[in-house]
Amino acid sequence: MHDAFAALARAATATPTPEPTVDPTLVTPGPAGFVVIALLAVAVVALVWDMMRRIRRGRVRADIKEELEAEQQAAEAIEATDVDDQSIDPDQKPSG
């Protein structure tokens, strides 16, 4: 038993860390990794730009549609008011 404890004590002592055997330049992304990341960044910027353009175009179209509907409602309201005024105006001679 004493031998087991002695072996365990020897195993528990710190061992020096080995020097890295892998060349650090082999584990870096290098120029190919840079090119891939740069192309990915350009693609993301292009997609965001296109998305913003489409959103802006949709907002402008919605604004124009609202303006046209408001103008149409105003024209219909004026026409309805003119018709109502003609039908109740006692001084106006009937046309026709």
pLDDT per residue as tens digits for the range 56-86: 999 999 999 999 999 999 988 888 776 665 6
Q: For 13-49, how does the pLDDT look when each residue is reduced to its tens digit (9 = 90+)?
A: 666 677 767 777 777 888 999 999 999 999 999 999 9
Closest CA to 42 of 31, 32, 50, 52: 50
The pLDDT score that the predictor gives to residue 71 is: 94
| Confidence label for 96 from pLDDT (cuts 50, 70 and 90) | very low
Sign of CA dihedral 64, 65, 66, 72: positive
The pLDDT score that the predictor gives to residue 83 is: 63
